[in-house]
Amino acid sequence: MEESTLQLISVVAQTMIAVLALVASIAIPLRIRNAQRRRETLDFIHAVRTMWISIDSVVVQDDELLKIADSVLAPGSEALTPAERKKNWISLMVLNAIYMDYLGVINGFHSKQGLKMVRHSLRTLLVDDGFYHLTQSRAYDDGFRELCQEVRKALTVTGAPTLTGTLGVQ
């Protein structure tokens, strides 16, 4: 080979190495930043979920606290019995846990198989009219509300009975 050809190959190789180094110097920090953001998101979700579990565990143990919590979070629920209040609260606790699983699937924290598990959990609970009503609250994103509508529709198509519930949360 001629010396000029070798020099050209050397220049091309050095250029490729420089480009690869540049790409790596950008890609690696971006990857680290994205991993940090995902971790921060998980930490935030965990903190919020832990806070609600603490509130839930205190409130459902005391009928008077449950009545006060309902007056704040569900105005107009004064006529409910203590048993109806507990059913509402526990339904929300379960629904929020299912919603967190749904968000985990949507945001890539669970496998896509997780959506099948979310559907299965919803299928057993959406038989109750009151529970279904809770799922349609603006507290949940459009995708989750649509998923609940889809699962509920499949229940009515297959002839699964629905239960008229007393969940009075607006």
**Residue linked to tokens 């629904």:** 95
pLDDT tens digit string along 53-62? 888 888 888 9
pLDDT band, residue 170 (cuts 50/70/90): very low
Residue 159 and residue 93 in one domain:
yes
Residue 115, domain member (yes or no): yes
Q: Which range marks the domain in which residue 29 is found?
A: 1-46
Strand, coil or helix: 96: helix
pLDDT tens figures, 103-143: 889 888 888 788 999 999 999 899 999 899 999 988 899 99
3-state secondary structure of 59: helix
Is the same domain home to 66 and 118? yes
**How far, CA to CA in Å, does 82 sit from each of 54, 77, 125, 128, 166?**
20, 11, 21, 19, 12
The number of domains in the chain is: 2
